[in-house]
Structure 1
């Protein structure tokens, strides 16, 4: 493959959607420079290039603002033996269907469930939001945290009822993946790692806390009830599958 200029990847480092893209870039060995920001500062970077949320991938000739669009673009320039989307049409359809389920349902449920437990804890949020961000953003965290905390709660309707619904959604999706894994397969689709595996593992990572995740956090600081629910998910077949993917591929 022709040597290329590194991509620019605008992120909130702890974001599971950003991890999905970062992992894909790493596994395909594509050069990139990550530009990390905390809320709300990432918007200054993304709006300058025509994006809104993160991740945003800036290439030499285009800007991609959706994690799945980014993965498909990266796959299109990857070597034939490293493709993450199957050539077989039926397998491709399965991968795309799973990826959409994980993007639209799992990611949202994991986000809402996690925020219920941690959004009011400024120390936990600071450690997650300010990882590797520019120094001045860290300095301004105390100023912006109360505003962003209120914004998160209102935008995502974070409360005890929504957290319970989110956890039920997580359990339902994990049950579906448990079913896929029941035949002893090593990957969700086909006989090699695909976008479905990376998407599932990345978006489930906040509730599973794999040690190999690049943005590690100290689980001991999390609320006991949250840790208990996390342990339940970690012990499922799907949870163990994700932890193994991180161990072997991350």
Structure 2
């Protein structure tokens, strides 16, 4: 359990796949806002038996006393209302709020999807890598099931997301385009993407970009850059050197506290 020292507070339940960058987005928000939670981790495919019960097909899912949330942005909006830290992920000023929500939508619908597909192209067939990515903290029977069903799960994921060399190249172009948007927003040494403090836009960008930046502070990432395929490592080094990449890495260094 996280934040076990907090008393008289609801403990929410977070259902995840360990490596999911959308789950990292919510996990980070929970830690940042000092909201106590229990994380329940599952191997892909096996997670469906749990998410189905809550009306979702994917993760993250947040189970709270008041409701069940099956979308990462909906979860962050809810967490913002029960924060124990006095910190707000969404500004009150209407214009800033609009900017934050538009950026969060951009990162969710474009960056997160492209990074997932690009990363899976290189690593999906590597059993050892995917064991670390998918199995950390999961139930024993799921870890055993992974060993038996890995070829099927891997093939199913590749088919589900239409992962090919061509789609990976297209996804990489999309990643670079979003990074350039962030580069431009951070021009003139702006400290954050909207306003003068960390918001859901910054957190979402950093969490979803983590697989192509490999921040040392990430709680789940499974490989060192020198262990990655040469082409993959070259892209990571390229993006780490950008203004956007430096922004996300700084946020991990300064703001990603794991309790």
Class of the TM-score when normalised by the shorter of the 2 chains: over 0.9
| 1:22 lines up with 2:44 in the alignment | no
Partner residue of 2:243?
A: 237
Per the alignment, residue 84 of structure 1 pairs with 89
Structure 2-normalised TM-score?
0.93
Q: 1:72 & 1:89 partners in 2: Cα distance?
A: 15
Match for residue 225 of structure 1?
Answer: 231
Once the two structures are superposed, what CA deviation does each residue of 1:63-117 show, in whole Å capped at 9, x if it has no partner? 1000000000111222684111000000000000000000000000000100010
Structure 1-normalised TM-score? Answer: 0.97
Extract unaligned runs of 5+ from structure 1: none
* Structural RMSD (CA): 1.4
| Counterpart check, 1:170 vs 2:175 | yes
The DSSP-based 3-state class of the residue aligned with 1:82 is coil
What SS does structure 2 have at the residue aligned with 1:140? helix
- 1:201 corresponds to which residue? 206
Label 1:2 to 1:123 Cα distance change in 2 as closer, same or farther (>3 A): closer
* Structure 2 unmatched runs, 5+: 1-5
- The question of 1:115 aligning with 2:120 is answered yes
Runs of 4+ off more than 4 Å? none
Corresponding residue of 2:55: 50
In 2, the alpha carbon distance for the partners of 1:191 and 1:209 equals 26
TM-superposed deviation, 1:216: 3.0
Shift of 1:2: 8.5
